[in-house]
Amino acid sequence: MSSFTAIPSVDFADFLSGDEARKRKFIREIGKAYTDVGFVAMTNHGIDQGLIDKFLSLVEEFSQLPLEVKKKYDGGGMRGYIAMGVEHAEGFDTPDLKEMFQFGPQVEDDPELRAEYPENIVVHDLPEYTPTGLKLFQNFQESGRKLLGALALYLELPEDYFDDKIHNGHSILRAIYSPPITEEPKDAVRAAEHTDICLITLLLGADTPGLQVMNHDGDWIAAEITPDQIVVNVGNMLERLCNSRLISTKHRVVNPPCEMWHIPRISIPFFLQPRPEMDLSCLSTCVDEEHPKNFDDLTSGEFLNQRLVSIGLKKED
pLDDT digits (tens, 9 = 90+) for 197-231: 999 999 998 667 789 999 989 999 989 889 899 99
- The answer to whether position 2 is within a domain reads no
Q: What is the pLDDT of residue 300?
A: 94
**Contact between 149 and 31 (Cβ < 8 Å):** no
Identify which of 81, 265, 97 has the alpha carbon closest to the alpha carbon of residue 191. Answer: 97
Whole-number Å distance between alpha carbons of 161 and 146: 11
Of the candidates 41, 55, 39, 36, the residue with the CA atom closest to the CA atom of residue 12: 41
Average pLDDT value over all residues in the chain: 90
Average pLDDT over residues 285-300: 93
Model confidence over 56-114: pLDDT tens digits? 999 999 999 999 999 999 988 789 999 987 655 455 555 567 899 999 999 999 999 99
Domain membership flag for residue 315: no
Tell me whether residue 223 is in a domain: yes
What CATH number does the domain containing 155 carry?
Answer: 2.60.120.330
Contact between residue 101 and residue 82 where contact means Cβ atoms under 8 Å apart = yes
Instruction: Give domain status of residue 3, yes or no.
Output: no
Range of the domain at 147: 9-310
Digit-coded pLDDT (tens) for 52-69? 999 999 999 999 999 999
Whether residue 306 lies inside any domain: the answer is: yes
Query: Is the model's pLDDT at 181 over the cut of 90?
Result: no
CB 104 within 8 A of CB 117: yes
Report whether 248 contacts 233 (CB < 8 A).
yes
Cβ contact 41:8 at 8 Å: yes
Pairwise pLDDT comparison (243 vs 94), residue with the higher score: 243
- Give burial (CB, 10 Å; 0-12/13-18/19+) of 134: middle
Is 317 domain-assigned? no
Name the domain count of the chain.
Answer: 1
Residue 4 lies in a domain: no
Q: Each residue of 139-149: b (16+ CB within 10 Å) or e?
A: bbbebbbebbb
Please tell me the pTM assigned to this model.
0.91
The rounded distance, in Å, linking the Cα atoms of 73 and 93 is 25
- Bridge partners (DSSP) of residue 230 are 42
Long-range Cβ contact pairs of 103-107 (< 8 A, separation 24 or more):
103/79, 103/130, 103/133, 103/134, 103/137, 103/172, 103/173, 103/174, 104/78, 104/79, 104/170, 104/171, 104/172, 104/173, 105/137, 105/141, 105/168, 105/169, 105/170, 105/171, 106/134, 106/137, 107/168
